Amino acid sequence: MARFPKPPEGSWTEHYPALGTGPVSYEDSTSPEFYERERRAIFKRTWLNVGRVEELPRSGSYFTKEIAAANASVVVVRGKDGEVRAFHNICRHRGNKLVWNDYPLEETRGTCRQFQCKYHGWRYDLEGALNFVQQESEFFDLDKDAYGLLPVHCDVWAGFIFVNFAPEAEQPLTEFLGPMVTDLEGYPFDEMTARFGYRTNIAANWKLFMDAFQEFYHAPVLHAKQSPQKYSAMAQQAGFEAPHYRIEGPHRLVSTSGVRFWEMDSELVKPMEITTRSGLFGPWDEVDLGEMPKGVNPAHCDPWGLDSFQVFPNFVILLWSQGWYLTYHYWPTSHHTHVFEGNVYFLPATNARERIAQEMAAVTFKEFALQDANTLEATQMGIESGYVDRFLLNDQEVLCRHLHKEVADWIAAYESVPEVPRP
Amino acid sequence: MTMLPTEFADLEPFAPKWCLPSEPGRYAMRLSSSMDEMYEFYEAIHPRAAAAISHLERFDLYGLPEDATNLLHLLYSMIMVSFPVEAWGQPRVPDTGSASFDCFTEPAP
């Protein structure tokens, strides 16, 4: 018996009839050839979040981002005029990677007045213009104005910096994000600068980790031992249901209901959660973030736990009711590997008690994420063996179904356009 | 030379090992410690946590004296070892043999 009402069609999945209800194939997560198609049709063609404006606090602040799925390295920099721009990280002289330290494959960040190539000393200003060429008179008819850094489309929404590798972006950023996401405008992302960042290499296709974090059907089982036995038994008995799912364009949302741990019997929570007044759902004591924009908890769930916005293709913004948020990025590196980055953001703590509650929430997040991460390698092995080729998805896994369909649809749309010269 | 405020002299034996300023340091120490070591540390510090937090709350978080900073780091380590002690019965999260999750930035302090 459902605890929360489902749409009139009887299920969330049937509410979106294009999704179907049948078994699905994960060939899209095991095929090197499919990955190449994803790279062309998605990662070289749509808006990708590469960070936040707080990472570029002043003119000359920069960071580099390796985006293997687009076969690109970008340098993102705040110019003298305060604007955030992105450029291909390539010197126009002989193609040397422009900005890197020690290891060309590793990302870097810092502050500078200009970029200077390590190879022959060509220099570019913060707006990308070529302004110095070593022994310029040795060149032939060199027009420096024609050899600035190659720009990458770059736009900022709510402090989130996006790039797009298409020759021309097919949609402006906010149109691509659509109202479900842009209705988060006004959430105090810019004030939540206390950040814990985590990164790891995952031996699984990027979509499998997105699936792991866009359904919570697994939570009472995979994470059972994170909680005292009495709580786990109750959670497993109850199973998981979300009160609200929403699909809009290529993006997805799940809202969950909240748990008032602080009202629970002490046998149901861990001693350290009581000591720190914090845990998986975040600090127990409310922080005042002011009035929330209408995009937050759009179905008015009460008690509300979290909203997980799955922004196509590989970016997640997850808002907790306890006044903190997470971002996830899944950066493919091959058909069966990717780099996962998770960031945890809080308002800066005003005292040690708040800071300790944040530490507990961040450490707990890592304990859970480690369990999710290791399962992925096991899943990749299972589906990659090829012996089983159809798998089941229930109604609480509706968002997994949508991601794989959306990826397939983008590829089909891209490949249906007559062949023209493409980068 | 002591590391902690005098009120917390009873925790001094744990300070050299567990006053660690970064998450990667604390996580590595957890993985390389025995359960006996972590039980002993947890049982000593957990009953003192409320007093330690109250002590630290008297200061500006961003201008903590050195001994208070050490105490805060010791509390972070208490949180770190609480997972092996309260949940796992072993240093590592079960079934996460090949998984890692590297913390590359965290708030200071």
User: So where are chain A's domains?
Assistant: 12-36+178-416, 48-165
| Distance from the B52 Cα atom to the nearest Cα atom in chain A, whole angstroms | 10
pLDDT in tens, B1-47: 899 999 999 999 999 999 999 999 999 999 999 999 999 999 999 99
Q: Which of B46, B72, B97 is opposite residue A275, by nearest beta carbon?
A: B46
Substitution target from B26, B56, B96, B98 for chain A, most A beta carbons within 10 A: B96
CB contacts, 8 Å: A271 with chain B: 46, 82, 86
Please report the number of interchain residue pairs, chain A to chain B, with beta-carbon separation below 8 angstroms: 109
The interface predicted TM-score (ipTM) is 0.98
List Cα–Cα distances, A180 to A177, A253, A329, A354, in angstroms.
Answer: 8, 8, 19, 31
Helix, strand or coil for residue B3?
A: coil
List the pLDDT tens digit at each of the 423 positions of chain A. Answer: 578 999 999 999 999 999 999 999 999 999 999 999 999 999 999 999 999 999 999 999 999 999 999 999 999 999 999 999 999 999 999 999 999 999 999 999 999 999 999 999 999 999 999 999 999 999 999 999 999 999 999 999 999 999 999 999 999 999 999 999 999 999 999 999 999 999 999 999 999 999 999 999 988 888 888 888 888 888 888 888 999 999 999 999 999 998 888 888 888 899 999 999 999 999 999 899 999 999 999 999 999 999 999 999 999 999 999 999 999 999 999 999 999 999 999 999 999 999 999 999 999 999 999 988 889 999 999 999 999 999 999 999 999 999 999 999 999 999 998 766 655
pLDDT, residue A129, reads 98
Domain-by-domain residue ranges, chain B? Answer: 12-88
> Omega into A332 within 30° of 0, i.e. cis?
no
Residue A154: the pLDDT is: 98
Which chain B residues have any C-beta within 8 angstroms of a chain A C-beta?
23, 46, 49-50, 53, 56-57, 59, 61, 64, 72, 75-76, 78-80, 82-83, 86-88, 93-107, 109
Q: Which chain A residues are Cβ-neighbours of B82 within 8 angstroms?
A: 270-272
**Partner-chain contact B105 A196, CB within 8 Å:** yes
Q: Does residue A226 belong to the interface with chain B, where contact is any CB pair within 8 Å? A: yes
Is the Cβ pair A349, B83 closer than 8 Å?
A: no
For residue A1, the model assigns a pLDDT of: 53
Closest residue by Cα to residue A279 from A353, A192, A194, A362:
A362
Euclidean distance between CA atoms A157 and B104, whole angstroms:
25
What does CATH list as the number for A12-36+178-416?
Answer: 3.90.380.10
Mapping DSSP to helix (H, G, I), strand (E, B) and coil, where does residue B105 land?
Answer: strand
Please judge whether B99 and A366 are an interchain contact, meaning their C-beta atoms are less than 8 angstroms apart: no
Whether residue A349 lies within 8 A of chain B, CB to CB, comes out as yes
| Complete DSSP assignment for B28-94 | HHHHHS-HHHHHHHHHHHGGGHHHHHHHHHTS-GGG--HHHHHHHHHHHHHHHHHHIIIIISSSSPT
Q: Is A351 on the interface with B (CB under 8 A)?
A: yes
The answer to whether residues A326 and A318 touch, using CB atoms and an 8 Å cutoff, is yes
Q: Measured between CA atoms, how close is A281 to chain B, in angstroms?
A: 16
Q: Is A377 on the interface with B (CB under 8 A)?
A: yes
Q: Which residues contact A397 (CB under 8 A, 6 or more apart)?
A: A211, A215, A217
Determine whether the interchain pair B107/A349 forms a contact, defined as Cβ–Cβ distance below 8 Å: yes
What is the arrangement of strands in the sheet containing A130-132, beginning at the earlier edge strand? A115-116, A123-124, A130-132
For testing the chain A interface, which of B55, B98, B103 should be mutated: the one with the most A CBs within 10 Å? B103
Contact A200 B75 (CB under 8 A): no
Interface of A with B in 165-204 (CB under 8 A): 194-201, 203
Minimal Cβ distance to B93: which of A196, A350, A370: A370
The chain B residue lying nearest A200, using CA atoms, is B101
* A275 contacts B61? CB cut-off 8 A: no
Q: Three-state secondary structure along chain A?
A: CCCCCCCCCCCHHHHCHHHCCCCECCHHHCCHHHHHHHHHHHHCCCCEEEEEHHHCCCCCEEEEEEEHHHCEEEEEEECCCCCEEEEECECCCCCCECCCCCCCCCCCEEECCCEECCCCCCEECCCCCEEECCCHHHCCCCCHHHCCCCEEEEEEECCEEEEECCCCCCCCHHHHHHHHHHCCECECHHHCCEEEEEEEEECCCHHHHHHHHCCCCCHHHHCHHHCCHHHHHHHHHHCCCCCEEEEECCEEEEEEECCCHHHCCHHHCCHHHHHHCCCCCCCCCCCCCCCCCCCCCCCCCCCEEEEEEEECCCEEEEEECCCEEEEEEEEEEECCEEEEEEEEEECCCCCHHHHHHHHHHHHHHHHHHHHHHHHHHHHHHHHHCCCCCCECCCHHHHHHHHHHHHHHHHHHHHHHCCCCCCC
For B27, name the nearest residue in chain A, comparing CA atoms only.
Answer: A363
pLDDT given at position A110: 97
Chain A interface test: which of B18, B46, B62, B79 (most A C-beta within 10 Å): B79
> In chain A, what residues touch B72 (CB-CB under 8 Å)?
352, 355-356
The residue written with tokens 């990280």 in the block is A89
Q: Which CATH class is domain A48-165?
A: mainly beta
Q: Is A29 exposed, middle or buried (0-12, 13-18, 19+ CB in 10 A)?
A: buried
> Rounded distance, CA A16 to CA A365, Å?
32
Are the beta carbons of A197 and B105 separated by less than 8 Å? yes
| Integer Cα distance of A381 and A372 in angstroms | 15
CB atoms B57 and A356 under 8 Å: no
